[in-house]
Structure 1
Amino acid sequence: MVSSTEFQTVLKTASGYLDVAANAHGEEKAFLAVQALKRTCHPSPHVVAVGPGGGSAVAHLASQLSLGEPHVESARLTLIEVPGVTSSSLADAVEAFSRVGTCQLVSGFAQDMGTLLTEPADVISASALLHEVYSYAGGYTGLHGVIRTLPTVLRPGGMFAYRDVYAVKGVSLHDGSLQTYTSRSWLRFLRMFVPQYLEHGTHPYHSASDPMVFRQDSRIVPVERLDEMTSAVIAAPAGVFREVQRHYITLRDHVWRSGVLGFRPFLEGPLAADWIDARRGHKRVHYALTDTDWLPDSQKSMLIALSERYIDHYTVDGDIFDECTDIALNAFLTLAEHGDGECGEVWQNWVTREGRETYAYMTLDSLLAAVAVHSTEVAQNQRTVLMPVQPTDVLRRDRTYYNRYLRRALPNPLRDAKQLVLFTNIPVGDTRSLSEGMHCLQQWCSKGSLARVYSAINSGG
C-alpha cells in the first residue's frame, strides 16, 4: 500500500500519465469555458483552471483566443495544480497561452482556492474535480467544502464550467438493478476488482439496501468465487455497475498503453480518430507491436493476419481489435490475479492509481441540486447560488466508440459519456436570473431536489 500523498502525486500525476493518458479531449474540456467567455462582460477576464493535468484544455483555449473566438481584449489565466505536479505538455500549453494572454501556475489544492487566488475569477473551469475530491479528499464532506468555496472566489455573475463522468439516467445511483455478464474477461475482472473497490475505495454504497448479490447456476456465490466459465446474474445498485463498467474501460486503456499485450494502439492524436462511421462509434485502430513474449504467438499472429500494414505499423477494424483484445486481456488478468511478473505490476499500478476512484457518485439531478444548495451556505456580503441558466448549459457528450464496444460485450450496458454543466453564480436578489435558473433545473431535477434548492435559496443561508 502506498500513502495517500504518494497515491495522488506519484501515480495519478506521473508525467507519462499526464502527457499521454490524461492529455486528450482538449476541445471538450475547454468547451464550456469558451462559452462562458463569450457571455462575460469583462474586457480582461480572469480565468481559473483547476487541475489542468497535461494542459489539453489550456492549449485549446489558447488556440480559440488566437482566432479571436471568444472576442476579449486579453485573458488572464491562473492554473491551480497539486504541488509537485509537472508535465512537458502542460509547459507547452502555458507557453502557447502566453502568446494570447497572461498565465501563472499556482501550486495548491482545490479546497484552498480561497487563499490561493488573489482576485475574484470571472470563469472557473475544471474537469473531474469533484470526483477526484470525493475519492481522495474526504468524500462528501470534502466535495461539499469545494462547492462552498466556489461562490467566494467567483464574481457575482461569474461562471463555473464543469465536466465529469456521466452517471446514469435516474434519480439515484442506489436504485437496484440487474446485470448479466457472460464474457470471461469481464467475469474475471469482477472477481478481482469488486472486493478491493468495496473494501478500500471511497464510495457511498454502504447501506443495508446496497449489497451486491452474485448468482451462477441459480445459486448465490461470493464474488471471490465467481467462475469465469459460467454466466453470472448480479443484483446491485446501478451506481456499482457504473463503477465496474467505467473501471473496466480505464483498465483496458491502461493495459493497452503499457504494451504488455504485445501491441500498443494509438489512443491519442490523428490516428486515434480514423473513423469508419463516427456516429456509430466504428473506427479503425492503428497499433504497433511490442516485444512482449508471454502472450501465445497464435494470438499475436491472428491479429496480424486480420490487419493491414500501414507505413511503420498496422491497422485493423475496431470491432476485430476489441474482440482480440478481450481474449488477450483475459490472459493478462489470469497472470495478474496471481501477481505474476509484468502483468501483476501493470495491474497493481492501475489498482493503485485508478482502482479506488469513484467516478459517478451523483446523478445529474443530485449534482445540480448539491451544487445549488451548498453554494448558498456561504457567509458572504452578497449571497449567491450556482445554477445553470440556459438549456444549453447542460450537455452530454457520448463516447460512441466505447458504447459500441459495450453493446457487444454486455447484454445491457450503461451509457458511457461525459456530462458538462455551466453554472452561473447568481445573486439571490437577481429574481430574473433565479427564475431562469429554476426553470432550467426543472428540466433535470426531481421535485424533491427542486424543493431543496428553493428552500436553500429562501432560508437566508
Structure 2
Amino acid sequence: MSVQALATDSGPAGSRNFVHEHKSDPGYLDNAANTHGSEKASLVWRALGRVGRDRQRMVEVGPGGGAAVAHLAAQFANSGDRGPSQTPGPQLTLIEAPGVTSQSLVRAIEEFNRIGECELRHGLARDLGTLLTEPVDVIGASALMHEVYSYGGGYAGLHAMMRTLPTVLKSGGFFAYRDVFAVDGPSLHDRVVQSYHSRAWLTFLRLFTPLYLAEGTHPYHRADDELVAHQHSRIVPVAELDREACAVITAPVGLFREIQRHYVTFRDHVWRSGILGFTPVLDGELAADWIDFHTGHKRVHYRLGGEVRWLTAHQRRMLAAMSEPYTDHQTIDSDIADAVTDVALLAFLDAAESGDATCRQVWDSWLAREGRETYAYLTADQLITAFAVCSAQAGTGTVLMPVLAGDITRVDRRYYNRFLTRRLANPLPDAKLLVLFQNVPCADETTLRRAFDTVASCCGKSSLARMYTAINKGDNGAS
C-alpha cells in the first residue's frame, strides 16, 4: 500500500519530513507494497456478507499497488450474484495521496469497474471525514494506524483517527484492519533479554538502533526503557558493539520487536535492489513455492545479475552449484539462500558503514522510507481497547469492536519465523494481526454482550473495564 496516503504533517511526529519520493516510487508501490492483498480483501468480503447484499459501499485507504482491489474484484466476479447488471453495483472508493498512483493500481481499478464502480480520490487520511461525504458500509486499511502514529502526531494522531472512523461508517458498518502483530504480553514496555551473535545482526544493531531511538517516533522514552548492551562482561554503547562477540541486550520487548521487523524489511529491500548480485522473487506465486508450508520451508526463485562484488567468484560458483534451473531463472532451498544472503549482506553492511557510495545509497533509501517508522506500537489488547474507547467518544452513539471470534485473526509469517529462529536465540513471532471492527450501536445490548465475550479472550480485565466505562459514560480517555 502507499503509506503516503496515511500520513499527516501536523503535530510532533508530523513535523518530521515525510519521504514522498521514496514512498511514492513505482517500484515500491507495484512490488514491495503490493503483497498479501488477499488478506485485507478477505476481511472486507466477510464484512460485506454481514452488512447485507444490498449494502455495497466500500472504501479502501491507501490502496498502493491495488492488490486488495484486484482480489476484491475477483471475489465479486466469482460470487455469481453481483455484476454490472445490478443497480447499483458494488461501489468502491479509494483514498490515495495527491499525485500517487501505480500501473498495477490502474489495472486493478479497471478490473473492478467490470463488476461495479471504482473511484480514486486523492487526499490524506487525516481528512477522511471531509473526503467521504456520507457514511459507508465498509472501510478497509492496512498499516493505517502504524503510519498515522509514525507521521501524524504519535498517539494523539492515532486516537484522533480512531474517533473519526465511526463518523464515516454507517451504524452496523465495519472497519477491516490489518497490521503487523505486536507482541504477546500486557505491555510493549516489559523488559526482556535478547542475545545476538550473528555478525550481520550485530552490524545492523550498531547502525540502525541509535538512529531509530534518536530520530524515530516511538514510545520508548521512559527511564525503564533504556537499552543496555553487555559485551566482554561490561556495558557498551549499542553504536560500539563488537561484531566478533556475542551481545546480551536488555530492553523493552517492543523495541526488540522494532529491531527485528526493521531487519527483515531491510534485508528484503537490499534483496530487491539487486546490489548483492542476485535478485530473489519476493512477490506473486513464485514467492510461495513451499517445500513445507507449516515449517516455513520453501524454494527461493532468483536471478543472477547486477553488482557482483558482494559475492566472491567462489561463492557465486557455490550458489550456482546448489541451485536448479527453473524456466529463465534459478531456484534454491530457502535455508541455503538465507545462508548466502547472510554472507553477502554482511559484506554490504561493511561497505555501507565504510562509506561505499553505492551501498550507502541503498542503505539511505531504506532508512529514509522505513528506518524511523514504528511498526508495533500497540498490543492486541491495547489496539482493541483504544478503538473501543476512542470510538465511544466520537458522539455517534456507536462503538467499534470485534463481535465474533473470527473477527480477530493472527496470520503467522512462517518463512520469516523459520529464518529468525535460525538466526536469533529467542526470536519474537513475526505475524500479521487482522481485526474486523463493527460499528455497534451502544443501545444494542445483545451485540455488545457478544463483542465483550469476544474481546475477553485477548483483553485484560482493566481493559474491559475501560471499554465498559467509555461506552456507558463516554468520559474515559484513551491515553
Residue number among 398, 404, 407 corresponding to 2:421 in the alignment:
407
Shift of 1:268: 1.0
Counterpart in the other structure of 1:14: 25
Gaps spanning 5+ residues in structure 2: where?
1-13
Specify which of 437, 440, 455 is matched with residue 451 of structure 2.
Answer: 437
2:135 aligns to what?
120
Cα deviation, residue 41, structure 1: 2.2
How far 1:402 sits from its partner (Å)?
0.4
- CA–CA distance in structure 2, aligned partners of residues 460 and 69 of structure 1: 44
Moved more, 310-319 or 257-266: 310-319
Match of 1:185 in 2: 200
1:19-418 paired onto structure 2 within 5 Å: 19-41=30-52, 43-68=54-79, 74-295=89-310, 296-380=312-396, 383-418=397-432
Q: For 1:234, what is the secondary structure of its paired residue?
A: strand
Q: Secondary structure of the equivalent of 1:209?
A: helix
Give the drift of 1:265.
0.3
**Structure 1 runs not aligned, ≥5 long:** none
Q: Give the conservation status (yes or no) of the 8 Å contact 1:258–1:264.
A: yes
Letter in 2 for 1:447: K
In 2: Cα distance, 1:137 partner to 1:8 partner: 13
- State the alpha-carbon separation in 2 of the partners of residues 286 and 98 from structure 1: 34
Q: Distance in 1 between matches of 2:57 and 2:376?
A: 30
Count of paired positions: 457
Displacement after TM superposition at 1:68 (Å): 1.3
Between 267-276 and 47-56, report the one with greater CA deviation.
267-276
The whole-number CA distance in structure 1 between the counterparts of 2:393 and 2:298 is 47
2:442 partner letter:
V
Distance across 1 between alignment mates of 2:194 and 2:320: 34
Separation of aligned partners in 2, 1:299 and 1:366: 47
SS of the residue aligned with 1:89? Answer: helix
- 1:38–1:71 CA contact under 8 A, matched in 2: no
Please give the alpha-carbon distance, in whole angstroms, between the structure 1 residues aligned to 2:15 and 2:332: 41
TM-superposed deviation, 1:8: 3.8
Shift of 1:439: 1.0
* Aligned counterpart for 2:435 among listed residues 412, 418, 421: 421
Q: Which amino acid aligns with 1:209?
A: D
What's the TM-score, normalizing by structure 2?
A: 0.93
Contact preservation (8 Å) 2:82, 2:115: no
Flag as ranges the 4+ runs of structure 1 deviating above 4 A. Answer: 3-6, 69-73
**The 10-residue stretch of structure 1 (204-213 or 111-120) with the greater mean CA deviation from structure 2:** 111-120
Contact preservation (8 Å) 1:64, 1:70: no
Point out the more displaced range, 403-412 or 269-278: 269-278
Give RMSD over aligned pairs. Answer: 1.4
- Superposed CA offset, 1:320-370 (max 9, x none): 000110111011000111231211100000000010110001000000000
Deviation at 1:6, TM superposition (A): 6.3
Tell me if structure 1 keeps the 8 A contact 2:225–2:251.
yes
Instruction: Identify which range, 159-168 or 268-277, moves more after superposition.
Output: 268-277
What SS does the aligned partner of 1:157 have? Answer: strand
Question: Identity, % of aligned pairs?
Answer: 58
Residue 42 of structure 1 and its aligned partner are, at CA, apart by: 5.2
- Whether the 8 Å contact between 2:19 and 2:368 is mirrored in structure 1 is no
> Aligned partner of 2:370: which letter?
E
Between the aligned partners of 2:307 and 2:360, the Cα distance in structure 1 is: 14
Q: Which amino acid aligns with 1:404?
A: R
Change (3 A) 1:70 1:178: farther
Kindly state the Cα deviation for residue 70 of structure 1 after the two structures are TM-superposed.
Answer: 7.9
Give, in whole Å, the separation in 1 of the partners of 2:16 and 2:123: 13
Structure 1: how far apart are the matches of 2:114 and 2:306?
A: 42
1:435: how far off? Answer: 0.8
| 1:121 and 1:158 in contact (8 A); partners too | yes
Contact 1:389 1:436 (C-alpha < 8 Å) held by counterparts = yes
Distance 2:45 2:308 in 1: 47
* 1:216-241 Cα distance to aligned partner (Å, 9 max, x none): 12210001110111000000000000
The more displaced of 132-141 and 68-77 is 68-77
